[in-house]
Structure 1
Amino acid sequence: MNPNLVRLAIGTTAIVVVGVSVWWFADQQIETAPVQPELPTIEEPALPPEPVPLPDIEEVEVIMPAPEPERETSVTQLEPVQLPEPVQPEPKLFDFVLPTLESSDATLMQQLRAKIASKSIELLADEGIIERFVATIDSISRDNLTFNQLPVERPVGQYKVIEAKGNIYGSTANIARYQPYLDLATSMSREHWIDLYTHVYPLLQNAYENLGYPDQQFHDTLLQALEVIKSSQKPSSSIALTQPNVMFEYADLEMQESTPVNKLMLRVGPEMNQKFRLLLEGLSGPLQQWQPPALSD
């Protein structure tokens, strides 16, 4: 045998044996080697950027202004404020103890004479002042007038007339007949008359109940009477009259047939009529606001 061929066969066989051994050994290594778990990638935090160097700033000297000297302020001395005095309620003019209705005349006249200096107070009736006043107001509220129940005396003297061109007219001289009644009405202030009215109201209500109105307020009747008077006719400067008998009558038939209250307000004349109306207007407002005591059961 050729010795070269023998060497070639041996070398080839050695190479094959070595290759197989290497492959077997490597295969065994892969099967037995443990699998390492894959670790997560941890990102390192980004570092903050380096600060940008600031440019050099020249130091500037700040000069503060010198403080101003304190100014002297003059303090004005204020005058003390005077507070207004508290308003005290006006004392009642009438505060006397009420008598019984039957004995009220003497007490009422005593109180009125102490407050009224005018001689017109003598116009008041001698007796039954409260009862007469209530009866008169009750009549007027029904647009009637009973002259024998008036709380004052009848006018003194005759009613004066003048003639002109065959006609008869009421004279302006008649103002003197009615002036004392206006003097009596104005002898006290409006507030004092209302004070007297509200003070003696229990007596007025008592007299009103005696007339046959036990369940009604006299105050309501008074307010109604004032409305009747205020709604009466206003006279003109000259009203023609006739005298068929002793008494004078109005030539105008409508006037003659009007109510006693209306004819009385015509008879006093335009000037006195206006004065009485102003007086009643001043009383109406406060009287409408006043509330009387409740009726007893």
Structure 2
Amino acid sequence: MSNDTDEFKQDGGNKGTWIAVAAIVVIVAAGLVWWLTSGDDTTQQRQPVERSMEVPKQPETAAQPEPEPEPQAEPDDFEPVAETPDEQPQQQPEPEQPLPSLAQSTPVVMETLAQDEVDTQPLSSDSMIRDVVVFVDNLRNGMVVTEHAPVARPDGQFAVIELDDKLYIDERSYDRYDNLVSWFTSIDNQVLIKNYRHFQPLIGEAYGEIGYPDGDFTDSAIEAIDVLLATPEPDSLIEVEDDQVMYTYADPALEGLPPAQKQLLRVGPENMRKIKAKLREIKQQLKQM
């Protein structure tokens, strides 16, 4: 077995696989479409307010005996007195916190996700919203811009095995992506929907910064889905070639794929199926809108 850092020549430098986080962004964008088209069914029910009713008493004097109680008025003649609301006011929902500036949004995004019980440990960015927008916009064009990758690089190294004088990707290399993929597939979609809804103005601002002032970031996310779903799924070991600098795919069809798809191949067949299953679920939801 020989080891090399996790790179191929065409990927250009220290590039890990960042596909899972891109898929998360796709889910968030899909959630926004679902919310806008289905409406908010969580309208808070109005709670009844208890009210009291008092009948005025006749004034008393020291010389007069206690008066006889007045007879009850007939229902048709009864005139209700003014109602007085209960002293305890109805509890109002807490006002939504204003959004920070785009430049100062990353700590707020991370804190909000953590409050919603999302494990933020795999995330790594000093400018989360900007990095996500740039990353997904490139992903829809088949490119991977790792300096904007919003997730930490997985541990471990890329490894190959030699069989009959040929080199193949060692399937144990796929294991280092297991935790990242499990993290992605376990995130609650509704939490992502809520957070996309909350931060969508900042996402739109960041999308405008890169040249799409009137663009819809959701469209980019949908295109990113299609790029990832189009990645082929080899049914056997993947052969590679060593050109003394980096490894390349021996199959010209695989070597000719867009960089994003070549990156996705490296998570391994089982992890790829899990990612694609999640993406198909989201795409089907979008098609039903």
TM-score range normalised by the length of the shorter chain: 0.5 to 0.7
SS at match of 2:105: helix
The 5 Å alignment of 1:38-77 reads: none
| Matched letter for residue 171 of structure 1 | D
Q: What is the count of residue pairs matched by the alignment?
A: 198
1:94-122 alpha-carbon deviations (Å, 9 max, x no partner):
x654222111111111112223364xx22
Structure 1 unaligned segments of length 5 or more: list them: 1-87, 291-297
Structure 1 distance, partners of 2:192, 2:139, is: 19
Aligned to 1:277: 276
- Is the 2:264–2:272 Cα contact (8 Å) retained in structure 1? yes
Aligned to 2:230: 231
Aligned to 2:110: 109
Structure 2 unaligned segments of length 5 or more: list them: 1-40, 45-95
Aligned to 2:262: 263
- Is the 1:124–1:151 Cα contact (8 Å) retained in structure 2? yes
Structure 2 distance, partners of 1:259, 1:219, is: 21
1:81-102 alpha-carbon deviations (Å, 9 max, x no partner):
xxxxxxx7399xxx65422211
1:165-185 alpha-carbon deviations (Å, 9 max, x no partner):
112111221222212321331
Structure 2 distance, partners of 1:184, 1:99, is: 27
| Matched letter for residue 116 of structure 1 | E
The 5 Å alignment of 1:89-100 reads: 89=42, 97-100=98-101
- Is the 1:144–1:261 Cα contact (8 Å) retained in structure 2? yes
Structure 1 distance, partners of 2:201, 2:286, is: 16
| Matched letter for residue 163 of structure 1 | E
Q: Using the aligned pairs only, state the percent identity.
A: 30
| Matched letter for residue 104 of structure 1 | S
Structure 2 distance, partners of 1:235, 1:116, is: 36
CA shift in 2, pair 1:213/1:279, >3 Å: same
| Matched letter for residue 103 of structure 1 | Q
TM-score by length of 2: 0.63
CA shift in 2, pair 1:289/1:219, >3 Å: farther
| Matched letter for residue 269 of structure 1 | G
Structure 2 distance, partners of 1:261, 1:126, is: 20
Aligned to 2:36: none
| Matched letter for residue 107 of structure 1 | V
- Is the 1:139–1:145 Cα contact (8 Å) retained in structure 2? yes
| Matched letter for residue 115 of structure 2 | A
Alpha carbon RMSD of aligned pairs, Å? 2.2
1:266 positional shift: 1.5
- Is the 2:174–2:266 Cα contact (8 Å) retained in structure 1? no
The 5 Å alignment of 1:169-188 reads: 169-188=168-187
Structure with higher Rg: it is 1
The structure whose RCO (Cα within 8 Å, separation 6+) is larger is: 2
Structure 2 distance, partners of 1:139, 1:129, is: 15
CA shift in 2, pair 1:96/1:188, >3 Å: farther
SS at match of 2:121: helix
